[in-house]
Amino acid sequence: MFARPVTYLLRIVSLSSLLLAACSVVKESPAVSSVTTDTVESSVAAARLDASKKLRVAEVLMRGRVFVIPSPHAPDPSQLVLLKFSMPEYEFVPVFSDRQTFDIEARGTGFEGKAISIDAASFVALLDDDDIVILNPGHRPAMEFKASELKKFVKPVPRP
């Protein structure tokens, strides 16, 4: 007579245990979470949720190539000079994670098609430590770095 209610109760308990286990958060160890499959976009998304992950964005960005806008006002056209944009409080150097992002953000600005791809080491070699760099500046909220933060993640090439 009691066999059915007990069996039913055991099934409910087992089912709730499975649901609880499936929904629980598993914390990754640092070794697992720093796998090289991170993308700039996924790192930015994580940093927007947790500001302590901002330097992870810099690390991922400095692994490969970036897109920059050369200054049309460079004194020597054979030397790459980065275009800086002036704000009321400071100047910044825009950097873009990929061509598609640049194309979207540059549309209608007059800078369409002007970005060039350079490796991260060459990029940071063109920066002074106190330069402000904004990653994908059309995205909000923007990710802002000091050049010195980016330089920590690459061995810079000598400045031209």
Instruction: Return the minimum-mean-pLDDT range out of 9-13, 60-64, 113-117.
Output: 9-13
The domains located in the chain, with CATH, are: 3-151 (3.40.1350.90)
What backbone phi and psi angles, to 5 degrees, belong to 132? -100, 130
Quickly tell me which residue has 């009691």 as its tokens.
2
In the chain, the DSSP E strands lie at: 65-68, 85-86, 91-95, 116-119, 132-135, 143-146
The answer to whether the CB of 134 falls within 8 A of the CB of 58 is no
Which one, of 55, 77, 81, 68, lies nearest residue 120 by Cα?
68
Instruction: Count CB neighbours of 71 within 10 A.
Output: 14
Please give the pLDDT value at position 147.
96
Please give the pLDDT value at position 94.
97
Please give the pLDDT value at position 21.
34
Please give the pLDDT value at position 37.
57
- Structure confidence at residue 33 as a pLDDT band (50, 70, 90): very low
Euclidean distance between CA atoms 160 and 155, whole angstroms:
15
